[in-house]
Chains A and B, each alone.
Chain A
Amino acid sequence: MVSSLKKMKLIAISATMSLLLAAMLACNIGGEADAPAAEPMASEPIKFGMILVGPRNDRGWSQAHHDGGAYAAQKTGSEMIVMDFINPADSPDITVAQVVDQMVEQGAELIFATSEDMKDGILEAAASHPDVPMIWSSGDSAWADGDAYHPELANLGNIMGKMEYGKMMAGCAAALKTETGNIGFVGPLINAETKRLANSAYLGAKYCWEESRGKNIADLNFEIKWIGFWFHIPGVTLDPTVVTNDFYDSGADVVISGIDTTQVIVEAGKRNSSGEQVWAVPYDYHGACAEAPGACLGVPYFNWGPSYLNTINAVANDNFSATWKWLGPDWSNINNEDTSMIGFAKGDALGDDNWDTLNNKFIKGLANGDINLFKGPLQYQDGSTFVAAGEEASDKQIWYTTGLLEGIIGDAGD
């Protein structure tokens, strides 16, 4: 009798647990225009794989890639296979090489691996599938003059945008808007890419603070805090929400996002809507300002569509070559979705006068070469020379930036 009662109780526990489960289940820096040259349109559509580090709808880095792939697929009638969340935190048991194997098995004729963090996996996959063209976005494995050249991987090319220009625009917008002279920069992890982007934002801010507003650079505080990765990983990185609020609490009124998710603009929006005069510049995705239009000064964004379209056409036309492409804006119209790799979408909070300065003076100056912010003398925080007086930084100097520039407050990870 007691035994059967126990059994009934166990069944009751199991049933309750099952109900709970079921309920839950229901639920180039010199300034010339260097937009990608158009390939002839593909004769036949292809199937290609898109490996994303984050979710395809993050309104940040991953969505920019996803939308670029969708643009190219739509233009060519090709089919895109998407795998998102491919990173050690979200998918610890899945490697990039495994994903590539699976995509190739599904018939993918071209693979896009879209994160710097995918380096080891895509190098391994390219070696394993030498007949499948691949693009490692943001990498430098196909750069003959680069420090990490892999000439043996003739099927692995690289595409990256010259976001340095976009960050200069972000920095300029911040400097034009700030009332306190305190600008924060939420950085991801510390590497050459993130340092050159932070430096670019600072150079843009410095230029517009001094030249457009006529102020002394000593009165501009430009501080960077690193969270530890491109997005928040609980228990591993700092929380970007907390870092952003700490910037505002410490007197910054503009925060520039260097991370791939939207916390910076969201926090700015919360404060702005309660009456605080604070603003933000998000990153990566052209629609990022929609999170908080009233707090958004504008967004520098990647437009991967044209370069991905060219790559698909090249593969379909059988003339793919593994090259390193570092593509800048189409200076005739940086927001042309069919031609420009880098754009800057104006935010509502920037104001017409500031936009006029940013667009008709600063961006125009970058476009025609009148403004070259990577011209020496430029020094790192420790006083060592980045670019000597009278010289202009080469692509290699910029790509492999080793430190933060003098004038930036924050750790350079040295």
Chain B
Amino acid sequence: MAIVEFEIILAAIISMSAPLVLAVVGETISERVGIVNLSLEGSLLITAMIGFAVASITGSVLLGFIAAALLGGIIALLICFANITLYINMIAVGFTLTILLGKLSSYLGQPFVRIPGPYVPQIEVPWLKEIPIIGKAVIDQNVVVWLSIASIIIAWWFLYKTKSGLVLNAVGENPYSADARGINVKFIKYFYGTLGGAIVGMAGASFSLHSIYGWSNGHTLNYGWICLAIVIFGGWNPVRGAIGAYAFGGLQIMALKLQGVLFGLSQVLPLIPFPLMIMSLILIQYSQDKQFIPNRVRSILFGNQPEHLGDTFKRG
């Protein structure tokens, strides 16, 4: 009985966290190459809206995802263009975009507010879903959930086990050294920054077509900020970031279960990522000043912030 309940709760957490996992993976890729996509809050809002709107108009959930991914990519491309080509501070551009895109999502999304529309269907997998724990938690889900899990594995493998991932990390750590070694730094930044944005766009559509079905003003409210917090908490590692996203999903499920018992606590639990983010930043900063902490230990505990994260790359 306890196992069955565990399976059910685990399945709910994995399903509910899928969009946040995608957003965390997308932002992690972007930040590892040095691009901070601070438009995340606005990007998630507008891609959630566009995903639902396109799916509603065309009747195709797939087209909804494609449209959201394209828009997410375009937004990220704008930030890259502003920073890499025009040397404008990416934080300022991202923050401005967040406000603009949030308002635009409300304005353009008005015809789609709280109306029924398409959603990602559940797929029945007859035999595999009977496997203990993973059958219910992983197999008996839908494509969005599978995609979110696959994105963690692929991102980890790519970042740490491939030559291309090494190049990506090299650009984020020290673009000048990478440039000196003949790597096309600007192209790498453009490519992975845009790719990260496209994944964030898919995360937006996952909200409106999967976990928070439909569209309403401020539909993904605060998830963008939470995602940024989790990327830091996860030490710019897709696996640790995903664990953070699942922990956040767990807090939300717990908040719901505690509604009848501790109403006040259920309001507070979803706020936990924010103090965790601040604590992580403090610890990262503290550990950098303490040479007696071996790099390996520091990396495991606090993660590795890309050395040139958020910096504008300008050839001397």
The answer to whether A270 and B121 have CB atoms under 8 Å apart is yes
Cβ contact within 8 Å between B259 and A238: yes
**Number of chain A residues close to chain B: CB under 8 A:** 48
Given contacts A234-B212, A246-B12, whether A24 and B113 have CB atoms under 8 Å apart is no
Complex Cα–Cα for A9 and B263 (A): 53
Residues of A within 8 A of B9 (CB): 249
Q: What is the number of contacts between chain A and chain B, taking CB atoms within 8 Å?
A: 114
Say yes or no: is B162 at the interface (Cβ < 8 Å to chain A).
Answer: no
Which of B188-196, B214-222, B277-285, B299-307 makes up part of the contact surface? B214-222
Given contacts A235-B218, A274-B122, A266 and B213 within 8 Å (CB-CB): yes
Which residues on A sit within 8 Å (CB–CB) of B88? 13
A13 touches B221 (CB 8 A): no
Residues of A within 8 A of B121 (CB): 270, 273-274
Closest chain B CB from A412 CB (angstroms): 11
B177 within 8 A of A: no
- Collect the chain B residues with CB atoms within 8 Å of residue A267's CB: 213
Q: Is A388 an interface residue (CB 8 A)?
A: no
Known interface pairs A55-B113, A246-B253; A410-B122 also in contact (CB < 8 Å): no
CB-based contact A274/B124 at 8 Å: yes
Candidates A20, A25, A233, A250; contact of B216 at CB < 8 Å = A233
CA distance A163 to B106 in the complex (A): 33
Knowing A55-B114, A59-B115, A249-B8, say if A411 contacts B218 (CB, 8 Å): no
Among A221-245, those with CB < 8 Å from B are 225-226, 231-235, 238-239, 241-243, 245
Report which residue of B53, B81, B121, B216 has the largest number of chain A beta carbons within 10 angstroms of its beta carbon.
Answer: B216
Q: Which of B75-108 contact A (CB under 8 A)?
A: 75, 78, 81-82, 85-86, 88, 104, 108
- Residues of B within 8 Å of A266, CB to CB, are 116, 119, 213
A27 close to B12 (CB less than 8 A): no
On whether the beta carbons of A239 and B123 are closer than 8 Å, the reply is no
Residue B211 is within 8 A (CB to CB) of chain A in the complex: yes
A290, B220: Cα distance in complex, Å: 27
| Contacting residues of chain B (257-297) with chain A, CB-CB under 8 angstroms | 257, 259-260, 263
Which residues of A are in contact with B by a Cβ distance under 8 Å? 9, 12-13, 16-17, 20-21, 24-25, 27, 54-55, 57-59, 85, 89-90, 225-226, 231-235, 238-239, 241-243, 245-246, 249-250, 261-263, 266-267, 270-271, 273-275, 291, 409-411
* Residues in chain B within 8 A of chain A (CB atoms): 8-9, 11-12, 15-16, 46, 50, 53-54, 71, 74-75, 78, 81-82, 85-86, 88, 104, 108, 110, 113-116, 119, 121-124, 140, 211-214, 216-222, 252-253, 256-257, 259-260, 263
